[in-house]
Amino acid sequence: MVKIDYTTLERIRLRLESGSVKVRTPIEDALLNNEYARKYENTWAIIVEFLKLIPKVIVSNTSFFCYVFMILAHIQIGSLMTLVYPISIFVYAIMEETRPKSIYWKVLIVYTSIILFTQY
């Protein structure tokens, strides 16, 4: 056990009152010692890191974006030819555990190519 005499406590109190020693809360101390806090002290660094994540999010969710655009195509055109897209999504694609197999995407590409070829 450490013994602190009265004079030591009095010196500490005087230094604290004079302002020569800054007292930090435990939260401030943890933030100052945290390497992440030091890395992101500048707000622009946080914004830049966030902007770097946007392409990664888009690339990792490409199937979701394809589903949305296929449904939007059917909503916009609303014909029997585009009805294949939502049916294929809700019957097969969403039922797959992770992502649909490449054969699904190849069939849709061929189907879309045939539709474009016959229409134009």
Range list of H helices, 1-120? 6-18, 26-33, 35-39, 43-60, 62-77, 84-88, 102-119
pLDDT band for position 16 (50/70/90)?
A: low
For the chain, the straight-line distance linking the first and the last C-alpha, in angstroms and rounded, comes to 90
Structure tokens at 2: 């450490």
93: number of Cβ within 10 Å: 20
Residue 3 pLDDT: 60
User: Quick check: 33 pLDDT over 70?
Assistant: no
Residue 61 pLDDT: 83
- Domain coordinates of the chain in residue numbers? 6-57, 61-119
